[in-house]
């Protein structure tokens, strides 16, 4: 395992802003945390993908995603963490297992409870990581994400 990712409070604030503005406390939402190839351990950008959201999940827009892969290559950035909301408690659902955006071991999925309406931070959040065998496993947030 590599060093934990470092992110500043602005990344968290932008993340919660997307969740509240898009989901409005009624629909699930997802953002992606990116870091540059040159500094992979520093989360530098929050992207809000085009998606359809509903109470029980969300679906990314395929055309948007195709464009986004090209943009990532052109800007030399990579997706390190997918972050999404759940209506109530944060846990990992079957949908999350079926649709990881990245399948590489070490890829992280962070789940934020209550549509992101609670305090900005990792309170009651749930973090899971893709294992070498391809399965998700819960990991302590402090071991992978460091707020700077």
- Does 46 interact with Zn ion (rule: CB under 5 A)? no
What's the min distance (Å) between Cβ of 1 and Zn ion? 30
- Does 112 interact with Zn ion (rule: CB under 5 A)? no
Q: Which is nearer to Zn ion, 79 or 144 (CB)?
A: 79
What's the min distance (Å) between Cβ of 29 and Zn ion? 3
Q: Which residue has the tokens 């992207």?
A: 47
In angstroms, the CA 99 to CA 113 distance is 19
Of the residues 29, 77, 83, 111, which one makes contact with Zn ion according to CB under 5 A: 29
Map the footprint of Zn ion across residues 117-146, applying CB under 5 A: none
Which letter, b or e, does each residue of 63-81 get, where b requires 16 or more Cβ atoms within 10 Å of its Cβ? eeeeebeeebeeeebbbbb
Instruction: Kindly determine how many residues on this chain lie close enough to bind Zn ion according to the rule CB under 5 A.
Output: 2
Enumerate residues 6+ apart whose C-beta is below 8 A from 21. none
With H, G, I as helix, E, B as strand and everything else as coil, classify residue 94.
helix
Map the footprint of Zn ion across residues 7-26, applying CB under 5 A: 22
Residues that bind Zn ion (CB under 5 A): 22, 29
């Amino acid at each position: 395992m590599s060093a934990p990712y470092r992110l500043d409070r602005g990344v968290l604030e932008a993340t919660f802003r997307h969740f509240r503005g898009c989901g409005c406390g009624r629909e699930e939402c997802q953002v992606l945390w990116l870091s540059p190839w040159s500094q992979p351990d520093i989360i530098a950008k929050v992207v809000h993908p085009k998606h359809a959201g509903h109470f029980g999940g969300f679906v990314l827009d395929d055309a948007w995603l195709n464009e986004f892969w090209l943009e990532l290559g052109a800007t030399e950035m990579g997706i390190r963490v997918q972050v999404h909301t759940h209506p109530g408690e944060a846990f990992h659902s079957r949908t999350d297992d079926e649709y990881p955006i990245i399948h590489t071991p070490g890829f992280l999925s962070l789940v934020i409870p209550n549509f992101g309406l609670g305090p900005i931070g990792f309170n009651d959040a749930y973090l899971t990581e893709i294992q070498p065998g391809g399965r998700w496993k819960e990991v302590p947030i402090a071991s992978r994400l460091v707020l700077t």
